[in-house]
Amino acid sequence: MMVENLMLQVPTTEIADDQPLFGPGSLGLDSVDALQLVVALEKHFGLKIPDPAAAREILQNVGTIVSAVQKKLAGAA
Amino acid sequence: MNSRVILITGANGGLGQAIARAFLAESPQNIVWLGVRSRREQAESASRESPDRCRLLDLEVTSAAAWHLGVQAIVGDCQRLDVLVNNAGQHQDGLLAQLSWNSWREVLSANLDSTFLGCQAVLPTMISQRAGRIVNVASLSALLAPAGQTNYSAAKAGVVALTRSLAKEVARIGITVNAVCPGYVQTGALADLNEEARAAALSRIPMRRFGQPEEIAAAVRFLACPEASYITGSVLKVDGGIL
């Protein structure tokens, strides 16, 4: 979802679960990428990220995003 | 052309109606939503003439909640929203020294806050589509800043700046954001001018005539058309050569 929505030039297999998405040593995403991720997560999983503080927490890396989605889906089940 | 779903605010006035007609004429498959609040006679008439393609939307443009519900209704019905035209606005002219705080706030709210709220409301849908067109109707007053319009000029100048800034934010997502600055246009607002003021206005226009709503609508439609895909952050004056 991330590679497709953000049109990343990196294959999914090369993105480690714990690789930071933003900042030093990261995948190099920016705030516009974050915006697209927030919209895509709500569209695909119903996961609403209400504010920038929550976004910073959830969008740290693929692992934290997966945890948030799993928690959302478990809550909905 | 593929069908498009268009939302126009301030759709009851002469300019809003002309913009609606322009998009309806663009394609027989287009669906135009007319955002209206208290005054709605013209919009209701247009909707009765083309009930399948022209729909009314109750929309208080200064309310975030109303915008959210309105966009939800459109996307629920049409599954997409391709174009937003922020055309709603008002002015309450007067010299700044005598302007009330309410006059300042109401004009800023109706013109600038409404544009901010509208853009924010449609962006999630357009980002999801990776496509969209936003056209903000500003005014030549944003650039000329005539006396007696400190509130209106400030609001419309804000619309221009918002347009240019937002355009940069969403450019790579396939959404363009542009502004149109109409000069003197033959609408109800111009009818309020007395003969002397009309003559003075005409003398400032190199074309020596007022613009027609259809001429402004054509500019709006151009900025929203698929062929304008490389135009964003632009401010298009439609003023008969004044500036």
In this prediction, residue A76 has a pLDDT band, given cuts at 50, 70 and 90, of: low
Residues in A touching B124 (Cβ below 8 Å): 39, 42
A4 vs B220, more confident: B220
Residues in B touching A42 (Cβ below 8 Å): 124
The CATH number for B123's domain is 3.40.50.720
Q: Chain A interface residues facing chain B, Cβ-Cβ under 8 Å?
A: 32, 35-36, 39-40, 42-43
Q: Over 90: is that where the pLDDT of B140 sits?
A: yes
Please check whether residue B211 lies inside any domain of the structure: yes
In this prediction, residue B39 has a pLDDT band, given cuts at 50, 70 and 90, of: confident
Structure confidence by residue, pLDDT tens digits, B234-243 = 999 999 999 8
Residues in A touching B173 (Cβ below 8 Å): 32, 36
Please check whether residue B242 lies inside any domain of the structure: no
The answer to whether B49 contacts chain A (CB < 8 Å) is no
Which sequence positions of B are flagged as catalytic? 152
- Summarize the confidence of residues B4-20 as an average pLDDT: 95
Q: Average model confidence (pLDDT) for chain B?
A: 94
Q: Over 80: is that where the pLDDT of B64 sits?
A: yes
Q: Over 90: is that where the pLDDT of A4 sits?
A: no
- Summarize the confidence of residues B97-103 as an average pLDDT: 95
B191 vs A69, more confident: A69
pTM: predicted TM-score of the whole model, two decimal places: 0.92
- How many domains does the structure of chain B reveal? 1
pLDDT at B192: 75
* DSSP conformation letters of A9-72: SS-GGGS-TTS-SSSTTS----HHHHHHHHHHHHHHH-----SHHHHHHHTSSHHHHHHHHHHH
Please check whether residue B61 is in contact with residue B68, taking contact to mean a CB–CB distance below 8 angstroms: no
CA distances (Å), origin B209, targets B11, B182, B188, B240, B241: 24, 13, 16, 8, 11
Q: Over 70: is that where the pLDDT of A77 sits?
A: no
Please check whether residue B112 lies inside any domain of the structure: yes
How many A-B residue pairs are in contact by the CB < 8 A criterion? 14
- Domain span at residue B16 reads 5-237
DSSP conformational letter for B212: P
- Summarize the confidence of residues B217-225 as an average pLDDT: 98
B1 vs A59, more confident: A59
Contact B173 A36 (CB under 8 A): yes
pLDDT at A2: 73
Rounded to 10 deg, the angle between the B64-78 and B114-129 helix axes is 30
- Summarize the confidence of residues B145-168 as an average pLDDT: 97
Query: Structure tokens of B192?
Result: 């309020």
d(CA B50, CA B45): 9
In this prediction, residue B89 has a pLDDT band, given cuts at 50, 70 and 90, of: very high
pLDDT at B102: 96
- Summarize the confidence of residues B3-17 as an average pLDDT: 94
Contact B172 A32 (CB under 8 A): yes
Structure confidence by residue, pLDDT tens digits, B196-205 = 888 988 999 9
Q: In what order do the strands lie in the sheet with B235-238?
A: B54-58, B31-36, B5-8, B83-86, B132-137, B175-182, B235-238
Structure confidence by residue, pLDDT tens digits, A8-43 = 767 777 788 888 898 888 888 888 999 999 999 999
In this prediction, residue B50 has a pLDDT band, given cuts at 50, 70 and 90, of: confident
pLDDT at A52: 87
Q: Over 90: is that where the pLDDT of B144 sits?
A: yes
Contact A32 B170 (CB under 8 A): yes
- Summarize the confidence of residues B91-102 as an average pLDDT: 94
Please check whether residue B243 lies inside any domain of the structure: no
